[in-house]
């Protein structure tokens, strides 16, 4: 650039003029319009001009006041709608959370009640088991007592039978003594001597003592 004296401003001005005329800004066209300059220098300046123009084209200009007012109005309305929607959703969320907390508290209460009933049922079951054990023990004791009483009754019945047999034998012996005494009296015509009569109550007494 120092040798030709061509500046970026000159190149960019000629390029803008060519674009305004409907002609594509090329290195040859710019050099022909300037009448001097190296192709390298012109190409470098032209590239920078195109890059700056693309950057400017991508940057949106400030909107006019009317557009700004409309956008502000739309933004305000959109914000109101969003705020109302948010408030409604917030209220719904709060109500849902309260309902869930109420359900959770009810569940906790129900679980506590069921646990209490389960504990009471367990205690009642223990009491029933203890009562069953006591009844089984009492039944066992009753069976033992019944067995002893049955054995005692059997022994008593055996003793009574034995005594009845002894009484029967004594009666038979007495009957025999009476018959013998009667025959003797009949034969002799006199009562038998006192010594010949069986001792009163002797054998019977001995049987009773036995």
Structure tokens at 98: 């309260």
Count of structural domains within the chain: 1
Give the pLDDT confidence score for residue 26 in this predicted structure. 93
Q: Is residue 87 included in any domain, yes or no? A: no
Give the pLDDT confidence score for residue 43 in this predicted structure. 95
Q: Is residue 186 included in any domain, yes or no? A: no
- Other CB atoms within a 10 A radius of the CB of residue 33 amount to 16
Q: Is residue 152 included in any domain, yes or no? A: no
Contact 185, 152 (CB under 8 A): no
Tell me how far apart the alpha carbons of residues 136 and 158 are, in angstroms, rounded to a whole number.
32
CA dihedral defined by 114, 116, 121, 126, rounded to 10 degrees?
150
Q: Is residue 178 included in any domain, yes or no? A: no
Give the pLDDT confidence score for residue 166 in this predicted structure. 87
pTM of the entire predicted model: 0.30
Give the pLDDT confidence score for residue 190 in this predicted structure. 55
Q: What is the domain range of residue 54?
A: 8-60
Tell me how far apart the alpha carbons of residues 191 and 171 are, in angstroms, rounded to a whole number.
22
Mean pLDDT by 10 residues, the chain (210 residues): 70 92 91 90 93 72 73 83 86 88 88 90 87 83 79 80 87 88 79 50 47
Give the pLDDT confidence score for residue 162 in this predicted structure. 87
**SS3 of residue 79 by DSSP:** helix
């Amino acid at each position: 650039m120092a040798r030709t004296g061509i500046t970026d401003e000159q190149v960019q001005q000629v390029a803008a003029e060519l674009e305004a005329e409907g002609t594509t800004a090329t290195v040859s066209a710019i050099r022909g319009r300037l009448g001097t300059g190296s192709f390298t220098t012109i190409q470098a300046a032209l590239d920078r001009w195109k890059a700056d123009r693309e950057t400017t084209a991508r940057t949106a200009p400030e909107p006019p006041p009317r557009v700004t007012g409309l956008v502000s109005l739309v933004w305000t309305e959109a914000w109101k709608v969003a705020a109302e929607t948010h408030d409604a959703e917030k209220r719904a969320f709060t109500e849902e959370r309260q309902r869930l907390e109420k359900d959770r508290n009810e569940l906790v209460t129900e679980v506590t009640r069921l646990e209490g009933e389960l504990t009471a049922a367990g205690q009642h079951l223990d009491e029933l088991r203890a009562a069953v054990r006591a009844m089984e023990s009492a039944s066992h004791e009753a069976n033992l007592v019944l067995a002893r009483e049955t054995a005692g009754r059997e022994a008593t019945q055996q003793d009574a039978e034995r005594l009845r047999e002894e009484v029967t034998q004594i009666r038979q012996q007495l009957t025999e003594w009476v018959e013998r005494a009667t025959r003797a009296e009949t034969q002799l015509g006199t009562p038998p001597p006192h010594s010949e009569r069986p001792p009163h109550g002797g054998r019977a007494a001995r049987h009773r003592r036995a």
